Amino acid sequence: MKKIKGILITLILVYVATALLGENFLGGYNQGKLLERTGLYGLLGIGVAFVIIGGGIDLSIGSVVCLVGCGVPWLVMRQGWSPTSAVAMAMLVSLGIGLWHGLLITKLRLQPFVVTLCGLLIYRGATRGMAEDQSQGFGGEHEGFRALGTEAIAVTDKFGIPFPFVIMVGVAVVAWIFLNKTIWGRYLFALGNNEEAARLSGIDTDRMVILSYVVCSMLAALGGLLFILNGNSAQPSDFGNFYELYAIAAAVLGGCSLRGGEGTVVGVVIGTAVMQLLKNMINLVDWLKSHMEFLIVGVVLLVAVMADEVLKRRVAKRR
């Protein structure tokens, strides 16, 4: 709880500020959209949190989003696959990607930054080649399949809880149980803090590292799938660009330390919500201009991280 205090306060502050300054912010439509975006980006954040807690980093998330976001409609619309087999394929490929990253990092001892940076280039390049740089989408077809990304559980006539959010919450609950209630979660935190000590305590650290990359790539794939189902338009050259950075930023906002061994799922989800809320705020508040987006997001991120550090030092001093 104390670990997410700072980000929770930030969320409330930004929420109240936007409610006061923005137009129609509290309307059911907008609230639903905020949940939807938190769901979509939150999946990526939860995925990268696993890797970060384990002491690694994954820069290939945006490209995996692109690979799946373009690959699934490409398989369905151009290759005539059924949606089910296309999704199965996407999950299989992302599992392979995570496995591959993990093996290179543990067995060949390559640096995670390098491995996943190469991944970032390779998967985007492969997608562009596969889709021949063509925009991908489902046109007007496969409405039932797409409902997974577009529909919501209606609450009022204006407000519903979007499926992507429901899916993300489900993933978050499983992730929370994994990290806090299973021995594997404890192992992941242990190895993120001190891989050598964890290994010397009899933990199969390699297996845990590989698992964290698999989880990250598969959640990126699930995110990519929902992004394309939701938006229905993906261009191989730019779909998912920088999404790894949004995911990492949300994870850091939510209390993950890039040194490893620290982080909470709830924090990451709140961190994602703050990022999406800020973007929403910039569009809804009249005197905030859209070209200020990166400036505002960057400043808020930095202030939140600074406040967090100051709080931590105060607590440490009091000991």
Partner 1 sequence: MGRPLLEVRKVTKRFPGVVALSGVDLEVGPGEVVALIGENGAGKSTLMKVLAGVQAADEGELWVEGKQVSFSGVQEAQKAGIALIHQELNLAENLSVAANLFLGREPARFGWIDQGGIVREAERLLGMVGLEVSPHALLGDLTLGKQQLVEIAKALSTEAKVIIMDEPTSSLSLSESERLFEVIRDLRAKGVSVIYISHRLGEVKALADRVVVFRDGENAGMLERDEIDHDVMVRMMVGREVSQFYQRTEHQLGEVALAVRGLRTVDHPAHPLDFEIRAGEVVGVAGLVGAGRSEMLAALFGAKPALAGEVFVGGRGGLPGSPREALERGLTLVPEDRKGQGLILEMTVKENMSLASLRRDAKGPFLNRRREEEITAEMTAALSVKTPGPWQQARFLSGGNQQKIVLAKWLALKPRVLLLDEPTRGIDIGAKEEIYLLMEKFAREGMAVLFVSSEMEEIMGMADRALVMHEGRITGELDRREFSEEAIMGLATGGKLSKAV
Partner 2 sequence: MLGALALSGCGEKEGGKAKFALVTTGVASFWDICKKGGEDAAAALGVEVEVLMPSSGDDQKSKLEDLLAKGVDGIAVAAIDPVNQAGLFDEVAENAILITMDTDAPASKRKVYVGMDNYEAGWMCGELVKEALPDGGEVALFIGRLEQDNAKRRRQGVIDCLLGRDKDASRYDAPGQPQVGPKYTVLATITDQFDRAKGKANVEDMLTKHEGIDALVGLFAYNPPLILEALKQANRLGEVKVVGFDEDDVTLQGIEEGTVYGTVVQDPYEYGNRSIRILHALSQGDKSVIPEGGFINIEARQIRRDNVAAFRGDLNSKLGK
Q: Residues in the site for partner 1, rule: CB under 8 A? A: 181-184, 186-187, 189-190, 193-194, 196-204, 261-262, 317-319
- 105 and 115 Cβ atoms separated by less than 8 Å: yes
- 234 and 76 Cβ atoms separated by less than 8 Å: no
- 227 and 52 Cβ atoms separated by less than 8 Å: no
Element of type H or E holding 66? helix 61-73
- From the CB of residue 303, how many other CB atoms can be counted at a distance below 10 Å? 12
Candidate ranges 88-96, 101-109, 230-238, 308-316; the one touching partner 2 (CB under 8 A): 230-238
Residues 22-51 that bind partner 2 (CB under 8 A): 22-25, 27, 29-30, 33, 37, 40
Residues 6+ apart with CB under 8 A from 301: 249, 252, 253
- 225 and 76 Cβ atoms separated by less than 8 Å: no
Binding partner of residue 201 among partner 1, partner 2, none, CB under 5 to 8 Å per kind? partner 1
Exposure letters 39-68 (e unless 16+ CB within 10 A, then b)? bbbbbbbbbbbbbbbbbbbbbbbbbbbbbb
Residue 6 to residue 311: CA distance in whole angstroms: 8
CB 22, min distance to partner 2, A:
7
Binding partner of residue 40 among partner 1, partner 2, none, CB under 5 to 8 Å per kind? partner 2
Binding partner of residue 156 among partner 1, partner 2, none, CB under 5 to 8 Å per kind? none
For the window 275-314, what string marks contact with partner 2 as x by the rule CB under 8 A?
Answer: ----xx--xx----xxx-----------------------
Binding partner of residue 22 among partner 2, partner 1, none, CB under 5 to 8 Å per kind? partner 2
Binding partner of residue 109 among partner 2, partner 1, none, CB under 5 to 8 Å per kind? none
CB 289, min distance to partner 2, A:
5
What number of residues does the chain have? 319
Residue 225 to residue 132: CA distance in whole angstroms: 19
CB 67, min distance to partner 2, A:
15
Question: Residues interacting with partner 2, by CB under 8 A?
Answer: 22-25, 27, 29-30, 33, 37, 40, 128, 133-135, 137, 139-140, 150, 227, 230-239, 241-242, 279-280, 283-284, 289-291
